[in-house]
Structure 1
């Protein structure tokens, strides 16, 4: 096979002295390249190279490689493949060659992970399985990375932030140069930042990168605590629609969320610390455009804190008329701790959240769902499709009224205490639900106009 990158015109022109194989024979040969797993990058790269040998090979091999084969490849995750530097350079070379030949294999890759410490060659990133020899520290590794970013657009950019405080001047200079080269490629839609968990001094170099993404960023995931300048830069990304924040710092999170008034979906995961400190600012900072709220934290053992948390959530749902999904609770000791959602929050949802599509009632004390509606009032959730009742304290009457009153409901999961209630079972049968497994019932898919009919029924 000719070496890629040498005399491209000669490579693509058929050699009259070479015997030509029929396309079906070529296809049979190329079928031996394993493209079945995203982890097998060699198969994808080998077939890409084969497609550039000559025109006959290209006509057979190129259709066998879909954009998905390249987009879903995991070679850009250096923690998965120890051959990361080699794969980085090879992919950059193949992309460059394909562009010159007008083949243009793909315009995007799914995920690009950039661990700043690894590209700078920090021994902090080395463990028993990795040595300095397979870190992407060479100039050609950096060139390959920026070639890939220049020729494709990552659907998600994941950056693992280092701690520049205390760096020697030469390392600070190398970091500044690396981030400067990264800046033109930072205008992404989805950004994940792995941040230190402890407080860091201002980092103007990295904050400037976030400013580059200000106009394009719509999805942000934060793991840890950004430095003050990066925090301020993030808060200026006003078009963020989806946010996930894990193990963060409550005041820092509140400061960022104040700038994200157009937020549609918020996912907060706080496994430690008092929940009330995490959510206390939500009532004032979160905008009224929210459609999804997901909050998981530590168990609440004190009734006073539970009341504070529920009060914040009640204030949020009272003004979020577009809310479609709400899940809030603890992942540990659910039968011994208080629920984040109490009956007051549920009543606020019943009054204000007409767009609700999924209702999850997690385990925990303080939630019974009793008296949510009076005798004359029917549930006003015309778009509710899925009801999950994980809480044993929820009264059967609530489930019965939802099943009978929400015409778009398609799926119901209930704990045993509720599923054994005769009234609930009559409602389930009356509405045509069928038992699927365990405590799950599902109604056969109805026609697409069911939601519109249900809305019209409620309106009249």
Structure 2
């Protein structure tokens, strides 16, 4: 007869004298030393504002390493600057436009890392700042799927759309794929407040390129953004349907145009009655008078006007054209009582009458840059009258005209309590009497600058807005 034996508990409990196995994890300092072999050089090592990594691929490498285990995550995640996580497609190495960069491989890799992070519950799927999107019919299917994945997981608030010139034969299947891609994008763009668009530019000529063929699918995408869209930036000429769609985005408060035809910008601006900030640079063709007069009647709450480098327009102007443009600009300024930032750079129609109108009507100015295509038209003489006085809130002014009279500048530095920065012409800077006058009012030359002065006024100065960079 077999007797029952009691069950042994040795398989469940280790003997008390069994040695404790050490943890296989590495100390944080060892992990940091290992990861220190990545290229951790910074874009601007001497800047307190930009600590981002120079190589965007290293950001993705650190993201991948951080998914090995919790210990590696704690170290690797702390080595990634917040700006790089928030803005993984920001241009590096002084590139002017991230939309011009070959991001396809990085987009695919970033999307794959986001999917893995989502599965592991690692907090990388937070809103990113900018997502570049190419709308070429030749775009890779995998890249498009990656873009849709990023849109689903990060909800970016800014899109950079590039419409490239098609150099290969466009098939029906390619067009259908592009249409399906845009329709899929429309489901994930409710958070887009800022839209940048680049269209094909001119080749081998300084004239503006004709707008591309109508793109109804792109226009539909823009219409889907209307409820949230606040800022648009355009480079080169959009197609007619896109122009119409942009003009119907009535909530837009900031609009930038670069290398566009003036008449196209005027068409789009016609519907933007809530516009506060306007930037025009390197504009082409006729119609500037019509554009300025349209703004005068439609956009009465402008806070920023930036018009620069319209040399292509100036070369074909007669004296009568110049006077009409100056009059249209005066009308706009006379109705822009809320104006805070005014940049009129290298324009033939900037003259003393324009400056006088600015002094009469734009009493809330914080920053002003004004230069004429012909210095003789901008002197500042007889600007100060019984109806005009310097701007009490002005913090920065730049007048590079060689013909500027010292009395205009002296009145400014005497009566503008907030004025902290001045930029003048080299001829003015070499005048010992003018220099003595500036120093007497507390201004000193900026380090390494011949024609720029600063005056430390901690009571008033809170920083001057950096001039907007288009794209």
Which TM-score bucket, shorter chain as reference? 0.7 to 0.9
Q: Tell whether the 8 Å contact from 1:408 to 1:450 is kept in structure 2 after alignment.
A: no
- Whether 1:215 and 2:227 are equivalent positions in the alignment is yes
Match of residue 395 from structure 1: 405
- Whether 1:369 and 2:380 are equivalent positions in the alignment is yes
1:169-180 aligned within 5 A: 169-180=172-183
Q: Tell whether the 8 Å contact from 1:116 to 1:162 is kept in structure 2 after alignment.
A: yes
Say what the alpha-carbon RMSD is for the aligned residues: 2.8
Q: Deviations over 1:257-285 (max 9, x none)?
A: 121122121111235434xx234222223
Distance 1:161-1:420 versus aligned 2 partners, 3 A rule: closer
Q: Deviations over 1:275-302 (max 9, x none)?
A: xx23422222350111111112013553
Which of 184, 199, 211 is matched with 2:211 structurally?
199
1:4-403 aligned within 5 A: 19-36=24-41, 38=53, 40-74=55-89, 80-81=101-102, 84-117=103-136, 120-121=137-138, 137-138=140-141, 140-162=142-164, 167-187=170-190, 188-196=192-200, 197-270=209-282, 272-274=284-286, 277-285=287-295, 286-296=298-308, 297-298=310-311, 299-300=314-315, 302-330=318-346, 339-365=348-374, 366-374=377-385, 379-403=389-413
Range that drifts further, 383-392 or 282-291: 282-291
Distance 1:329-1:280 versus aligned 2 partners, 3 A rule: farther
The 3-state SS of whatever aligns with 2:241 is helix
Q: Tell whether the 8 Å contact from 2:390 to 2:412 is kept in structure 1 after alignment.
A: no
* Mapped partners of 1:163, 1:204: distance in 2: 16
Match of residue 95 from structure 2: none
Report how far residue 46 of structure 1 moved.
Answer: 2.4
Report how far residue 378 of structure 1 moved.
Answer: 6.2
Q: Tell whether the 8 Å contact from 1:280 to 1:309 is kept in structure 2 after alignment.
A: no
* Mapped partners of 2:108, 2:371: distance in 1: 49
* Mapped partners of 1:19, 1:419: distance in 2: 69
Report how far residue 60 of structure 1 moved.
Answer: 2.6
Q: Deviations over 1:343-393 (max 9, x none)?
A: 11111111110111122231433222211122x566241111112121112
The 3-state SS of whatever aligns with 1:261 is coil
Q: Tell whether the 8 Å contact from 1:160 to 1:195 is kept in structure 2 after alignment.
A: yes
Q: Tell whether the 8 Å contact from 2:414 to 2:441 is kept in structure 1 after alignment.
A: yes
Larger Rg: 2
Distance 1:199-1:42 versus aligned 2 partners, 3 A rule: closer
1:397-416 aligned within 5 A: 397-416=407-426
Q: Tell whether the 8 Å contact from 1:75 to 1:88 is kept in structure 2 after alignment.
A: no
What 5-or-longer segments of structure 2 have no aligned partner?
1-20, 43-52, 92-97, 201-208, 464-471
* Mapped partners of 2:187, 2:174: distance in 1: 21
Report how far residue 409 of structure 1 moved.
Answer: 1.0
* Mapped partners of 2:233, 2:370: distance in 1: 26
Q: Deviations over 1:127-156 (max 9, x none)?
A: xxxxxxxxx513x33222211111113343
The 3-state SS of whatever aligns with 2:128 is strand
Report how far residue 319 of structure 1 moved.
Answer: 0.4
The 3-state SS of whatever aligns with 2:350 is coil
Q: Tell whether the 8 Å contact from 1:321 to 1:354 is kept in structure 2 after alignment.
A: yes
Relative to the length of structure 2, the TM-score reads 0.78
